[in-house]
Amino acid sequence: MASAEEIARAADRKDIRDRWLLSAPALIIIFVAAIGPLFVMLAYSFMVKGDYGDVKFGTFSLDGWTSVLFERDIFDDTLGLADAHLTILWRSVRLSFYTTVLTLIFGFPTAYFISTRPPKTREVWVFLVTIPFWTNLLIRTFAMQQVIRNEGLVNTALIQLGILDRPLQIMNTDTAILLGMVYVYLPLMVLPLYASMEKLDFRLIEAGYDLYASRWQVLRRIILPLVKPGVIAGSILVFIPSLGAYVIPRVLGGGKNMMLGNLIELQFGAGRNWPLGAAISITLMALVMVALLFYVRNVSRSEAGHG
């Protein structure tokens, strides 16, 4: 006759087996729909490009990865830096960083304002912040285009006020892309910040003022350390989609100021260089992974510091 301990172990094994069986459909879907395509892209990046936009299977090549940072001279076949790719990479990282900083500058006071409202009205303010998510990204981008184009709202107002005598050329510039990304991704910064500030004990702020701390000291030594997880989460949520943005640079940049997402689409489309497009895609994913590791590392340190 089995002992109570053996029966308990058998029950635990059965429970674990049942959980795996219940999770199997979801795990299969995740592998097929998410991890599977990544393996396909990784395999394509080590193949030779075909003549009509495909790849030549069974042929190993590092040309796709080499072309990410280097290009061959058409005359002597020597390698040199791919200035166009490096420019696009730098523009993507730079605009993503600026977008993150600007959304933090505008999102922090917005989240603080919402968190300091009475509980009944907070839900209304959060509801207003989420309204842009009801509209398609493309529509929101075209809306920004109507604001900043030469005959748009901004230029028309400045001319009628006599500040300008001719429209500012904002469209088809990095500034237009930056404004579009700040407008689109601002809610992604506000919501994590609000989630952190809602849990903030405002008695600590009052205690800081009672100890004659200035507003800057209260912000730097009390508020920012306590809402640091929200700052990091919001920054990651803004930086990652900004880095791979496609629609906003396409519409507001006019196709001239490309970012990594546009470069990848170009290689799989008109460029007909699938290995290079796949290599750039994996490079973009690697940049995203670095950002996520930075987030996890900082969150772990924050939890350890408060633990």
Rounded to whole angstroms, the Cα distance separating 219 from 209 reads 11
b/e code 241-263 from CB counts within 10 Å (16+ = b)? bbbbbbbbbbbbbeeebbbbbbb
Asked if the structure places residue 231 within a domain, the reply is yes
Asked if the structure places residue 40 within a domain, the reply is no
- The model's pTM is 0.82
Q: Which of 14-18, 70-74, 160-164, 198-202 bottoms out in mean pLDDT, i.e. has the lowest?
A: 70-74
CATH of the domain at 269: 1.10.3720.10
Asked if the structure places residue 106 within a domain, the reply is yes
Asked if the structure places residue 223 within a domain, the reply is yes
pLDDT at 157 over 70: yes
pLDDT at 36 over 90: no
Q: Return the H-helix or E-strand segment holding 59.
A: strand 55-60
pLDDT at 187: 93
Asked if the structure places residue 53 within a domain, the reply is no
- Scanning the structure block, which residue is given the tokens 């459909």? 25
pLDDT in tens, 222-250: 888 888 888 888 988 999 899 889 999 99
CA 269 to chain centre: 24
Asked if the structure places residue 93 within a domain, the reply is yes
Tell me the residue range of the domain where 166 lies. 81-306
Nearest to 244 by CA among 228, 265, 221, 270: 265
Helix (H, G, I), strand (E, B) or coil at 249: helix
Confidence band for 272, pLDDT divided at 50, 70 and 90: confident
257 contacts 172 by C-beta, under 8 angstroms: yes
pLDDT at 211 over 60: yes
Confidence band for 294, pLDDT divided at 50, 70 and 90: confident
Asked if the structure places residue 45 within a domain, the reply is no
pLDDT in tens, 91-149: 999 999 999 999 999 999 999 899 888 888 888 898 998 888 888 888 999 999 989 98
